[in-house]
Amino acid sequence: MNDEQLLRYSRQIMLSSIDIEGQQKLLDATVFIVGAGGLGCPAAMYLAAGGFGRLIIADDDEVDLSNLQRQIAHGTNDIGTAKTASLKSTLSSLNADCQIEVINQRLDGEAFNQYVQQADVVLDCTDNFETRFAINAACVNNQKPLVTGAAIRFEGQVMVYHPGVEDSPCYQCLYPDIGEIEETCSANGVIAPLVGIIGSMQALEAIKCLTGVGEPLSHRLLILDGLEMRWREMKTKVDPVCPVCRNSR
């Protein structure tokens, strides 16, 4: 690290559990973020600001007026532009040293494998089960940690999956593929700050995954009731007949 980087990240380096060694791990790391919307915006902004060296961001959508209530990396002038381009512009203004690669298209299973292979940790910031299952399968195939988040109405949840770690479930162990469920914020609504809370937690868990600091949110699904401001923790376990991860254990 040069002097400017030491100053920029000094408040993290001051943490004894991070120190220079931990910060260097972040600078050397690549994060693959799928989704540049409500969750992806705050997650990517904190990862770029916090010193991750490279972010790969995938999203095939354009900025719409209805996005601006919660997708804080986009502004009025970005309406009609690709979300990936808008988010990249915001991240570059936060930290020009962060390398940002954008993919402005919908990815399929093989494409997910290609980008997951390049990543040290993957963030699922999407809002549909088909894509979530594809990301999960790619992470299982490549034994890469996956940080998932979800937010709808006043309810949010976050969890970390560690494929290859003994007794660690994958996403599909918890959510079997029984067909698409129409549970998106576009169909059901979402309160604005909720996605910021969950996306920020995804960023924190990514930092913990890369530095080894603290206890990762694995084997535990953390659920937030935003109306009552109560957190609930649900223990998770491997599905022995999971079609995705049973052969990788």
pLDDT by residue for the chain (249 residues), tens only, comes to 899 999 999 999 999 999 999 999 999 999 999 999 999 999 999 999 999 999 999 999 999 999 999 999 999 999 999 999 999 999 999 999 999 999 999 998 888 999 999 999 999 999 888 899 999 999 999 999 999 999 999 999 999 999 878 788 999 998 877 655 555 555 678 999 999 999 999 999 999 999 999 998 988 999 999 999 999 999 988 988 888 887 766
Cβ atoms of 78 and 130 within 8 Å: the answer is: no
What lies within 8 Å, CB to CB, of 190 at 6+ separation is: 38, 70, 151, 152, 153
- pTM for the predicted model, two decimal places: 0.94
Beta strands in 59-163 (DSSP E): 99-103, 121-124, 146-152, 155-161
Given this model, what pLDDT does residue 216 score? 86
What ranges do the domains of the chain cover?
3-248
Given this model, what pLDDT does residue 184 score? 57
Whether 185 is catalytic: yes
Given this model, what pLDDT does residue 219 score? 87
Q: Please tell me which residue in 98, 125, 170, 185 is annotated as part of the active site.
A: 185
> Is 3.40.50.720 the CATH number for 3-248?
yes
Given this model, what pLDDT does residue 41 score? 98
| DSSP letter (8 states) at residue 153 | B
Give me the count of residues in the chain.
249
d(Cα 93, Cα 97) in Å, to the nearest integer?
10
Cβ atoms of 185 and 152 within 8 Å: the answer is: yes
